[in-house]
A and B are shown apart, each in its own frame.
Chain A
Amino acid sequence: MKVSLFSTCLVDMFYPNVGKATVELLERFGCEVDFPEGQVCCGQPAYNSGYTEDAKKAMKNMIKAFEHAEYVVTPSGSCAYMFKEYPHVFEDEPEWKEKAVQLKEKTYELTQFLVHVLKIEDAGAYLEGTATYHTSCHMTRLLGAKSEPITLLSNVEGLQYVELPHKENCCGFGGTFSVKMGDISGQMVDEKVDCIVSTNADYLVGSDMACLMNIGGRLDRQGNKVKVMHIAEVLNQVPKTKRNEGR
């Protein structure tokens, strides 16, 4: 199965390890992963701030970059959802809208792709400790991916999953909101961190590096030792000897 990876700009620039883990994970399950070089940012920061025309330039670049992909997989619920919104954005440009619909239909967030396309609920991973999971807003409310990451996490050997109190509350990232309304955003992430600490978990796992950068940044500021991991990194925790045991 051929998969084109949409790494997201945060992973490309700040978290290459998440990209690596995603590639290795997909390959372990028999996917042939390529990285279309033309990809930039999905346009969400500009679009959500009201700069639609600027956003459209990025979006057109992305549509072109992934035009020939069979499947587009991304380790971000929020960026995947942005792709799903492209047809709305190009409502008045029929030619681009058609292409946007094609992109929308072949785009998957990583855990959805694993569970629904590859039919994998147990990724064969091993990690010892306790993990709690941050349900990113766009991923759960807008994309509708709620159960997939929990299913996958629950099947990680050695890992005990504990639910995060008030898990539905936003972590306060919100793109430009986090700098523009830094004071409010700071209070939101502070409350989120309190909830995480209350679980006594060793790991905070999530499916969106934007939220994890926000929460992780606060944990780091507090000198807290909770380890922040993207779900791809967790699912990629396989002893080297076992790496060829996938399909």
Chain B
Amino acid sequence: MSMKITDETFKARIQKGLGNEFMRGAVSSAQNSLQGRRLGAAEELGDWEKWRELGEQIRQHVLENLDYYLMELSENVARRGGHVFFAKTKEEASAYIRDIIEKKDAKKIVKSKSMVTEEINMNEALEAIGCEVLETDLGEYILQVDDHDPPSHIVAPALHKNKDQIRDVFKEKLHYDKTSKPEELARFAREVLREKFMEAEVGITGCNFAVANTGSVTLVTNEGNADLVTIIPKTHIAVMGMERIVPTLEDMEILVNLLCRSAVGQKLTSYITTLTGPKDPGDADGPEEFHLVIVDNGRSDILATEFKSVLQCIRCAACVNVCPVYRHIGGHAYGSIYSGPIGAVLSPLLGGYDDYKELPYASSLCAACTDACPVKIPLHELLIKHRQNIVAREGKAPFSEKVMMKAIGMGTGSQTAYKIGSKLAPLATKPLQSDNRITKGIGMLKGWTDTRNLPAPAKEQFRDWMKKRGKEGKDQ
């Protein structure tokens, strides 16, 4: 899967999302329960705002000193016998991984959930040389079995599917013959996956946090699959976005707290594993060989822009889980593996405005995302910055909007123009009015009146009343 998940137009994707009652039911009930759990977990910790500030400080400190921490991390990984590769592009990243696997003549690969491996098209690169790349995260596994259905959520990739749909996928593709009870579905997947784990030659994981001063990689899961991926195969390759570093284990503990509580409303997830290099002589388990692939893929460019704060992201999806737009259109409508508010900010940065210029507008700027972010990324402000770029630098704003904005600009740029404009409004909208309201708008107004009425402009403006009152006295 590359970052871009479809060639359909944004409009078509929205209609598809809005028309998918199954998906919308699944998403809104997940959002409702995750929101409640997140707030509960935050409250339980106490001083949540202080924790957020701490998280923000750690992330900002790392970004300010990223060169230093990248160096420290790579030295410590090497000191513990691991290999480090810096990939400037996604092609470099997947080529390096492909080369390791080719050299070993390995064919059976297991992997745990990782957004960055999707970003770099890794699975396709490996499948092209004849490897079987098996997703072992349950959600990702379901999607893989369902002919590579794209993920619709960065933490819960199969959120758009309900249990009956999952049963149908298993039934059709894997001859599953049991019920849609989650326990039975999970047991079935587990049995299939266990066998694959035992045969795997190379294990590939993402990296929630890399700890610079120990050279460790931390993996956060609820299924424990990442642990099997790293322990059983002889080679472990961890892939990380270059910004996913924390200075020390103490910093990691703070961010893990913020991550687990924000993502799933748990104090801690079931498995939080910190791995340092390949296994040492005498160790009972662990890989013989360890590679850390650090992916830039546009991140260092972001670092130099007003969008730098987006690199604070720890991929918890709290913003996705509170987003009212995501709630109605679902993840696939974003057309990117990164959906929701974080996707609307990140996708145009990593993939360009040509493919993602509509995403920054898929927000009412309600700021629920900014409010939920555990590391205080001002997401709604970054969406406005994108809009500024699209209007000014890229010149990609739609014509109808430009006309509307010019009209507003003229009307608010001078007092006289505002007065004339506001006086004309009742007259100008007269043909559209009936019974003091507008029910059928034209042009951009249609977007409103398709579902709502609009009041007709008042016959006497407030400012005229005020003026008259000033002249005639207050008791009119």
Q: Which residues from chain A sit less than 8 Å from chain B, CB to CB?
A: 5, 7, 9, 11-16, 19-20, 23, 27, 35, 37-38, 40-41, 43, 45-55, 57-58, 61, 65, 137-138, 141-142, 166, 168-170, 172-191, 213-214, 216-218, 220-221
Contact = CB atoms under 8 A, between A and B. Distances in A.
Contacts of B457: 13-14
B458 to A, nearest CB: 5
Contact of A170 (B368, B439, B454, B462): B368
A45 B452 CA distance: 20
Contacts of B18: 183-184, 187
Contacts of B324: 169-170, 172, 188
Contacts of A37: 415, 463, 467
A182 B364 CA distance: 11
Contact of B368 (A52, A141, A179, A221): A141
A61 B462 contact: no
Given A52-B392, A172-B364, A180 B463 contact: no
Contact of B365 (A12, A46, A57, A177): A177
Contacts of B418: 9, 40-41
A51 B409 contact: yes
B365 A174 contact: yes
Interface bracket on B: 35 or more
Most buried by B among A49, A55, A58: A49
A76 to B, nearest CB: 13
A35 B466 contact: yes
Given A58-B413, A138-B367, A175-B364, 16 more contacts: A19-B465, A38-B415, A47-B384, A50-B384, A50-B386, A50-B391, A54-B405, A54-B413, A55-B409, A57-B409, A137-B366, A172-B364, A174-B366, A179-B445, A184-B328, A217-B448
Interface string B362-375: 11111110110000
Nearest to A52: B388
B461 A16 contact: yes
B25 interface: no
Contacts of A175: 364-365
B404 interface: yes
19 contacts: A13-B457, A14-B457, A16-B462, A46-B408, A57-B409, A57-B413, A137-B364, A141-B368, A168-B322, A170-B364, A170-B368, A172-B364, A178-B364, A180-B444, A184-B14, A186-B450, A186-B452, A188-B364, A221-B453
A4 to B, nearest CB: 12
B8 interface: no
Interface of B: 14-15, 18, 32, 322, 324-325, 327-329, 361-368, 370-371, 384, 386-392, 397, 401, 404-406, 408-409, 411-415, 418, 422, 425, 437, 439, 444-448, 450-455, 457-458, 460-463, 465-467, 474
B388 A181 contact: no
Contacts of A20: 462, 465
Given A169-B324, A183-B14, A187-B328, A221 B439 contact: yes
Nearest to B361: A180
Main secondary structure of the interface of A (DSSP, over half): helix
Q: Which 5 A-B pairs have the closest CB atoms?
A: A182-B447, A174-B364, A50-B387, A186-B451, A217-B452
B362 A181 contact: yes
By CB atoms of chain B within 10 A, which of A50, A52, A177 has the most? A50
A168 to B, nearest CB: 7
Nearest to A43: B412
A202 to B, nearest CB: 20
Nearest to B444: A179
Given A51-B405, A182-B447, A168 B368 contact: yes
Nearest to B464: A16
Nearest to B397: A50
A50 B364 contact: no
A123 B142 CA distance: 58
B439 A14 contact: no
Contact of A7 (B405, B453, B462, B467): B462
Contacts of B364: 137, 170, 172-175, 177-178, 185, 188
Nearest to A59: B412
Contacts of A40: 411-415, 418
A15 B118 CA distance: 51
B197 to A, nearest CB: 42
Given A51-B409, A58-B413, A184-B325, A14 B455 contact: yes
B367 A142 contact: yes
A218 B450 CA distance: 10
A173 B364 CA distance: 7
Contacts of A48: 365, 384, 387
B447 A179 contact: yes
Contacts of A138: 366-367
B130 to A, nearest CB: 43
A129 B398 CA distance: 46
Contacts of A190: 451
A178 B474 CA distance: 38
A205 B391 CA distance: 36
A13 B425 contact: yes
Nearest to B446: A182
A186 B454 CA distance: 13
Contact of B447 (A137, A181, A220, A221): A181
Nearest to B362: A181
Contacts of A214: 452
Nearest to A54: B409
Contacts of A9: 412, 418, 422
Contacts of A58: 409, 412-413
A16 B361 CA distance: 31
B451 A189 contact: yes
Contact of A23 (B447, B466, B467): B466
A195 B404 CA distance: 32
